[in-house]
Homo-oligomer: A and B are copies of this chain.
């Protein structure tokens, strides 16, 4: 990828329409090899067919004799009390786009999905969005107050909070603006920018229901205001049923304490709901009987429909998926042959039941293998073998969750939602594999 991409505005749409070039018909012809590859897939996985994926044990294929690390002692254990990735992985970092927000401080950085494996996002590259910069809080001076319609308003120190019973859960967290730049047709040139406002970590904390029980919620209470201690004072209205279901007041992220960008020392965590509601740097929870209609749930984080009216309180992150190999940052560099297409699927409503793969722009679909364990409201890694014939191919994936919901195409989504929205765009993407192996983000309409 060209580094200039990082600050460039998105390309104008590269749409593929039936009857135009490439026509649906030539398109199907082109991917005939891909379809054949799919048919052969189970045999390949079980090892009955062997593509030439490696060279023979010929000395000419060996690296230079005795590279330095084989002959000289390496660095010692005391040099990295807290370790960092290899310098050869220095490009696996969060990135932002300068033109997306008015400010580089209160902005967004994106997870480098193309370079990641499995489902855990390492803390160092989790995307972040903040509205007043990233707060740098001294945990000894931090408090959480719970008040409003409760029998016993309480203030908790960190020591008090971590004394409660805790649970650990692996969940994704996604900004509802993920992919939102493309509602009207702009096309981002990196997977990092099309889908990088998501991460998936193991979160540890006390169930919010336990804290509410400690305070005693009064009859008639229906909503909770969650407020952050950052300079923006982000605050959102949380439905009581979510608060009593699986909401956490979390202090742990992938085994260690939350990163500052993720709300250190504590954040609210609402599995499956839009990320902005999982209020970071959490300092206050007010129990009430109606929502507060804060800035972030009126002028922002609402869905502007075609008729000019805005839908409010659309909290759920519906089923979504994306192919992470191949992708714009990870083109096919070894020519035609067998590859294993890999990607991620997720749903705010529960578990992923199935992920379908298409190499012909959505005409034919084949189920991919899901990597176990498949967890609720969590990224699910899928993989499927695919033989590339070296010609144009149009790769898609679609997620089906345990409720039976099927991830829609972009035309299907626009038919319902129009093109005014920024948030909750979970439509199917198309990666156009070019004959040279490069991969472009295109639209099929």
Inter-chain contact A255/B154, CB cutoff 8 Å: no
**Which among B75, B254, B261 is the interface contact of A118 at CB below 8 angstroms?**
B254
**Min CB distance, A159 to chain B, in Å?**
7
Binds B, one of A10-18, A50-58, A400-408, A426-434: A50-58
Q: How far is the CA of A117 from the CA of B202 in the complex (A)?
A: 9
A128 within 8 A of B: yes
Q: How far is the CA of A130 from the CA of B80 in the complex (A)?
A: 13
Can you name the residue of chain B whose Cβ is closest to the Cβ of A139?
Answer: B88
Interface code A138-170, partner B: CB below 8 Å = 1, 0 otherwise?
A: 110111011100001111110110011111101
Inter-chain contact B70/A233, CB cutoff 8 Å: yes
A126 within 8 A of B: yes
Query: Which residues from B are CB-within-8-Å of A53?
Result: 156, 160, 163-164, 214
Interface code A248-271, partner B: CB below 8 Å = 1, 0 otherwise?
A: 000110111111110011000000
Query: Which residues from B are CB-within-8-Å of A155?
Result: 54-58, 61-62
> Assuming A54-B156, A55-B155, A73-B105, what are 11 further A-B pairs, CB within 8 angstroms?
A57-B145, A57-B146, A67-B229, A69-B231, A70-B229, A73-B231, A74-B132, A74-B135, A78-B104, A164-B340, A373-B373
**Min CB distance, A100 to chain B, in Å?**
11
A81 within 8 A of B: yes
Q: Which of A69, A153, A166 has its CB near the most chain B CB atoms (within 10 A)?
A: A69
Inter-chain contact B202/A47, CB cutoff 8 Å: no
Q: How far is the CA of A129 from the CA of B342 in the complex (A)?
A: 33
Binds B, one of A106-114, A304-312, A314-322: A106-114
Inter-chain contact B117/A204, CB cutoff 8 Å: yes
Q: How far is the CA of A146 from the CA of B256 in the complex (A)?
A: 38
Query: Which residues from B are CB-within-8-Å of A73?
Result: 105-106, 132-133, 231
Inter-chain contact A69/B135, CB cutoff 8 Å: yes
Query: Which residues from B are CB-within-8-Å of A103?
Result: 76
The SS class assigned to the A binding surface is loop
Can you name the residue of chain B whose Cβ is closest to the Cβ of A211?
Answer: B54
Q: How far is the CA of A119 from the CA of B204 in the complex (A)?
A: 10
**Which among B201, B231, B383 is the interface contact of A72 at CB below 8 angstroms?**
B231
Query: Which residues from B are CB-within-8-Å of A69?
Result: 135-137, 229-231, 281
Instruction: Tally A residues with Cβ within 8 Å of B.
Output: 124
Q: What's the number of copies of this chain in the assembled complex? A: 2
Query: Which residues from B are CB-within-8-Å of A56?
Result: 152-155
**Which among B78, B83, B88, B132 is the interface contact of A125 at CB below 8 angstroms?**
B83
Q: How far is the CA of A418 from the CA of B62 in the complex (A)?
A: 47
Can you name the residue of chain B whose Cβ is closest to the Cβ of A260?
Answer: B86
**Which among B70, B76, B125, B167 is the interface contact of A105 at CB below 8 angstroms?**
B76
Inter-chain contact A64/B141, CB cutoff 8 Å: yes
Q: How far is the CA of A84 from the CA of B120 in the complex (A)?
A: 17
Inter-chain contact A82/B94, CB cutoff 8 Å: yes
**Min CB distance, A41 to chain B, in Å?**
10
**Which among B92, B119, B124, B254 is the interface contact of A168 at CB below 8 angstroms?**
B119
* A residues 325-361 touching B (CB-CB < 8 Å): 333-334, 338-340, 342
Can you name the residue of chain B whose Cβ is closest to the Cβ of A109?
Answer: B77
Jot down 24 A-B pairs with beta carbons below 8 A, ordered by A.
A47-B213, A54-B154, A54-B214, A55-B155, A57-B145, A69-B231, A72-B231, A73-B132, A74-B230, A75-B134, A76-B103, A82-B85, A82-B93, A83-B124, A83-B126, A83-B260, A86-B137, A86-B265, A115-B257, A120-B202, A122-B255, A163-B334, A168-B371, A168-B381
Q: How far is the CA of A8 from the CA of B40 in the complex (A)?
A: 62
